[in-house]
Structure 1
Amino acid sequence: MSIDDKFDALFKALGHRARRRILDLIKDGPKTTGALCEALTDLDRCTVMQHLSVLEKAGLVVVERRGRERWNHLDALPIHDVQKRWIGPYAAHAVRMLADLEALAETEARSAGAADKSKV
């Protein structure tokens, strides 16, 4: 699977609110599929399993089987990869643009102040 395919799967997984809710539920620790089904009362077990499958294919959920139980663990590394590739660089660019705008505004304010003093 190429890096672009991995990001496509990740964004597809994050694109559904039920899957984001599942990730929120397991971010503080692994949960069994049964516990997730109990917490997601508006979804039936089959639907929860389908969402977990999408999350697993995207690399966001790692499944551990303990006897008859299926424990779902969060793997946040794919989200970190998105942060490194897009969010961090775009945020840094936005901060630079705002700093440049602030410097320009300060320069113009000083120039306007100097022009007002010369009129007096």
Structure 2
Amino acid sequence: MNTIFSALAEPHRLHIVELLRDGPLTVGEIVERLGLSQPQVSKHLRVLSEAGLVDVQPIANRRVYKLRPQSLQAIDTWLGSFRRLWETRFDRLESYLEAIQAKENKPPDRS
């Protein structure tokens, strides 16, 4: 997991992942969209590939890159534990706020 987060920590690599979210792209298409040089993009793609975030498919003299869903599912699973923690805390906060509101809306006791 550290390798994945380390790869995504670099802004250009994160941007490449965002570009690939919409579908596979060639190195040339990524170069055009990012405005980086081809060697820079290739270096970033190599890091993403080594982290297991992208797959490459050579087609003739081009390389087409696409996201690897398995690595993104691993991130989602990891984040899921935090999601459950926050949902539990928000549920408790909601219950607490409802109890306060009910107490404030309760008519005064006239005994």
Q: Which residue of 2 aligns with 1:62?
A: 55
4+ long deviations beyond 6 Å: none
For 1:69-88, what per-residue CA distance to the aligned partner results, in whole angstroms no more than 9, with x for missing partners?
Answer: 11111112212111112x21
TM-score, with length taken from structure 1: 0.81
Identity of aligned residues (%): 27
Q: CA deviation at 1:110?
A: 2.9
- Shift, 1:112, TM fit: 4.4
Q: 1:27 to 1:108 in 2, by over 3 A?
A: closer
What whole-Å deviation, never above 9, does each CA across 1:64-117 have from its counterpart, x for those lacking one? 1112111111112212111112x2121121111111122122223334444x51
- What residue number does 1:100 align with? 92
Separation in 2, partners of 1:8, 1:52: 17
Q: Which amino acid aligns with 2:94?
A: E
The TM-score normalised by the length of structure 2 is 0.87
Letter in 2 for 1:40: L
Q: 1:3 maps to which residue?
A: none
2:29 match: 35
1:65-104 maps to which residues of 2 (within 5 A)?
65-85=58-78, 87-104=79-96
